[in-house]
Amino acid sequence: MELLPAIDLLDGGVVRLAKGAYDRVTRYPGAPADVARAWQDQGATRLHIVDLAAARDGASAQASIVADIVRSVSIPCQVAGGVRDVGRAHALLDAGVDRVVMGTALVRTPDSAGPIVDALGTHRLVAAIDVRGGAAVGDGWTPDAASVPALGLVAALRAAGVSLFAVTAIDRDGLLEGPDLGLLAAAADVAGGADQVIASAGVSTLEDVRTLAHAGYAAAILGRALYEGRLSLPDALAVVGA
């Protein structure tokens, strides 16, 4: 299982939100590119970068920061936030991003998945399944966000050729309460297996990492636990045998 340190960007800096709420922000020191290099130096093999302003607004002034992070490291980066059409996805891929993560566009128009897969290639696309109350939501998880039944969306996207799903339990995001194993297992059943799922939200202990690895998930995204020293990336990598 791959471990992906998250670099969430807001107002030009590295942050974490609690349950996706933009008024519950924790800010962390260090320039984003320096933070990225630090995770690479500790053994990360891929980074998960989120432009939170773009996720909320659909457009962002942080594109240059994302590009700077990608240039600053030699490991692959997947980027989420505001990737709502093929043009934006191609712009990121042309800038050196390895994979793009799309959520809002797929929530709003699931039928667009097939053409998007055809345009990008299945290995370049991750579908963000951000779940609140059984529904997959987009638009930066804001209160009036577009939403559809989560497992139904996974099934539709899988049928359209999507092969990798980042599944996030919004109510656990940034709270260090452990992953939602029931949600992840249900998503894996519909997605075609745990190896099609990236586990996100709540991962905070080595036991959490061990549980997810044992279940066979493709990857786990690590956030607040890393930034606050509750989880060591080298120790977590040792658990998964990386």
Q: Catalytic site residues?
A: 8, 130
In eight-state DSSP terms, residue 128 is E
Q: How many CA atoms lie within 13 A of 50 on its CB side?
A: 24
Q: 206-215 vs 181-191: helix axis angle to the nearest 10?
A: 20
End-to-end CA distance of the chain: 8
Question: How many Å apart are CA 124 and CA 144, to the nearest integer?
Answer: 29
For residue 212, the one-letter residue type is L
Question: How many Å apart are CA 30 and CA 15, to the nearest integer?
Answer: 10
Question: How many Å apart are CA 13 and CA 68, to the nearest integer?
Answer: 13
